[in-house]
Homo-oligomer: A and B are copies of this chain.
Amino acid sequence: MDFDLSETQELIASGAREFLAARVSGDLVRNIAAGTGSYSDSWWRDVTQLEWPGLLVPEELGGAGLGFPELGALLEEWGAVLAPGPLLETALQGASAINRFGNDGQLKEFLPPIAAGEMIVTPAVHEEQPAWAHISLNASARFINGRWTLNGEKRFAPFAANANLMLVSASTGPSADDCTLFLVRPEDSRGIELTPMKTAAGPPLSRVRLHDVQVTEDAVLGEVGRGQEAIDYLMLLGAVGRSLQMAGAARQVVNMTVDYVSNRHQFGRPVGSFQAVQHHCANMAVAAKGMALLSRKAAWTLSEGSNPARAAAMAKVKANRELPYVCALAHQCHGAIGFTWEHNLHLFTRHALHWRSDYGDTNYHRKKLMTEASA
């Protein structure tokens, strides 16, 4: 075992801390949460300058060729400041899924622009039910005259309005398992209609309606009818990535709270000198540290370990439980000031609610672990 960040990981984390502290303000996040702000192209351009989208892309395709723990170190910092932007979707899900399931042509077509920061990827895989529910898809793709025609509606597609590559799942056969994942470029495709879904916080989401969207045979990622494996992989990556973001957010909430209670005075002494407040803070710190370790283990397991689904489920269950708990204790420690819109604390609470629901809610991951425990 080795709990230290490697030199590379440490470099990435400290660089990210510095950049993000300067660039991500509470107001940026708050305005997005209010639906009044928007995702900013210039800020994302600066992110791409740091070559973060290509961390996982092989060096020969223009990326940094690093592993999940390296991107994980970044995602923790990304989560700590609630940074808005399609990093998880592009750098983790997009790059990895294409790298794993794509053919040579697809690798060469998509990974270099991802690494160069020119391509934003989003998974458009949920429908009325989330993709991890394994319920048969309503969106369908039919192969006619050498082209696939997609129809249906996907929901909860993050950053879809900014994406120039969508990973769209559609039914390609009679059984629930007959599904296929398509690489769809919205710019080149007619018939894609986006509607924003207003959220509490977290990434901006869209409904994606597909009206006779036509793509070529080359747009199939992996094999026709074998899309479930790729979808499961996207969900797995999402769960690990979210857990890392949540661990970073928890650490940040602990720090914010410690700062506040150290300086706020009541009854002639710092609030943080009361044992009840001290124990709240201690409980928060223990929870945040446990989250960090389980999510880092999940990231490491993706790269090198066995049974990543189990490690991811543990990390996400832990994160789903603890981040709302950490935020609740933080609110107790902050008192009324933390209950205001102007204060940043509720942005963490809002993200906690969003993040625990996507890429597998608590009971979904518990059930995965239950199935394994009774096997």
Contact = CB atoms under 8 A, between A and B. Distances in A.
Contacts of A279: 276
Contacts of A274: 275
Interface in A271-315: 274-276, 279
5 contacts: A274-B275, A275-B275, A275-B276, A276-B276, A276-B279
A301 B276 CA distance: 39
Interface string A248-277: 000000000000000000000000001110
Label chain A's interface by main secondary structure. helix
A363 to B, nearest CB: 15
Contacts of A276: 275-276, 279
Interface string A23-65: 0000000000000000000000000000000000000000000
A332 to B, nearest CB: 12
Contacts of A275: 274-276
Interface string A133-159: 000000000000000000000000000
> Top 3 closest A-B pairs, CB basis?
A275-B275, A275-B276, A276-B279
A276 B274 CA distance: 9
A279 B278 CA distance: 13
Interface string A107-148: 000000000000000000000000000000000000000000
A274 B276 CA distance: 9
Nearest to A279: B276
A275 B280 CA distance: 12
Interface centre among A274, A275, A279 (most CB of B within 10 A): A275
Nearest to A277: B275
A205 to B, nearest CB: 31
A276 B276 CA distance: 6
A261 B274 CA distance: 19
A276 B275 CA distance: 6
A271 to B, nearest CB: 12
A274 B275 CA distance: 8
A279 B279 CA distance: 11
Nearest to A275: B275
